[in-house]
Amino acid sequence: MSPFFFPAPKKMIFFDMNNTLVDRRQCFDSAFTEVLGDYTGRWEQEDGAASPENALQIYKQEWQKLRKLRPRGHHPSEEMRISCLEKALDAFPISVNETFAKGFFERIEETEGNYVRLFPGVEETLSSLGERYKLAVISNGSRKRLERDIGRLRLSSFFPEGLLFSSTKDGPRKPHPGLYRTALKETGIAPGQGVMVGNSWKNDIIGSTRCGLDAVWIYPPHVKKISQRKVGRQKVIIVRSVKQLVHVL
């Protein structure tokens, strides 16, 4: 039994997927530059600024600016993505409108599957934890992409289809308690018997602890290797990487 969560016996570990198990930022970056390269490959680029790599950096910079400006509690919108894409492609002879942006981002999502990668140590960690706990996923990502990634990464033995919980188009998203409550209800797990593992303090940690789950926050910049704190009545363990989970669970 984990000394960090003693004496509460844990039966199930719920994992976030993107940027917890899967390096989603790397997937997006690689897919963005590939898709834009396909669009522009036939053009001679005399201006060095008009490169897929520079466009990606501009897109990410604009995204961070708009994220800070959006009202508290509001999710990133399609308008935000289009605005960032307009700025990113300003150096290209491309007219960015809603139709173009929709097709562009759809191609990125399709292409991301070619670059999906686990963080180091994930498979070994899941194998070790799977011997002692049931494992499940709670993700804000689309169901289609979640199932695709689970299949491509050969994680189905750890996360069977019935233990994948994802947000729907008009349904609740983390940190809303609805998604967590659905997962608890369908698995038959009481909040005190589960632990949520994720990289987002707001979505994974605050969201889960409000539903009575203890949590593990994966935060690479953390000064200490392992530490713990309280959020309300719930315990939160802070680690730097997935590989450390075997030492706290």
Residue 77 confidence (pLDDT) above 80: no
**Both tokens assigned to 164:** 């994948």
pLDDT, tens digit (0-9, with 9 covering 90-100), for 167-209: 887 788 999 999 999 999 999 999 999 999 999 999 999 999 9
Per-residue pLDDT tens over the stretch 151-162: 999 999 999 999
Cα-based angle 202, 240, 211 (whole degrees, multiple of 5): 30
Q: What is the pLDDT of residue 146?
A: 93
Question: Between the CA atoms of 58, 64, 67 and 69, what dihedral angle is there, to the nearest 10 degrees?
Answer: -90
DSSP, collapsed to helix, strand or coil, labels residue 46 as coil
- Which has the higher per-residue pLDDT, 248 or 5? 248
What is the pLDDT at residue 28?
93
Residue 174's pLDDT is 94
Worst-scoring range by mean pLDDT, 75-79, 90-94, 214-218, 230-234?
A: 75-79
pLDDT of residue 141 exceeding 70: yes
Give pLDDT tens digits for 1-49.
Answer: 566 776 668 999 999 999 999 998 899 999 999 999 998 875 655 555 6
Mean pLDDT of the chain: 90
- Mean predicted confidence (pLDDT) in 135-149: 93
The pLDDT value given to residue 11: 95
pTM above 0.75, yes or no: yes
- Counts for the chain of helices (H) and strands (E), in that order: 9, 7
Q: Specify the CATH number for 12-23+117-248; select among 3.40.50.10540, 3.40.50.1000, 3.90.1150.10, 3.30.2010.10.
A: 3.40.50.1000
pLDDT of residue 168: 80
- Residue 73 predicted with pLDDT over 60: no
Neighbours of 43 (CB within 10 A): 11
Q: What value does the mean pLDDT take over residues 133-152?
A: 94
pLDDT at 223 over 80: no
Per-residue pLDDT band for 78 (boundaries 50, 70, 90) equals confident
Per CATH, the number for 25-112 is: 1.10.150
- Write the pLDDT tens digit of every residue in 199-211: 999 999 999 999 9
Predicted pLDDT at 224: 79
DSSP per position, 130-180: HTTSEEEEEESS-HHHHHHHHHHTT-TTTS-GGGEEE--TTS--TTSHHHH
Cα–Cα distance between 55 and 38 in angstroms, integer?
14
pLDDT in the model for residue 13: 98
Question: How do 234-239 and 226-231 pair as beta strands?
Answer: antiparallel
Q: Name the residue ranges covered by the structural domains of the chain.
A: 12-23+117-248, 25-112
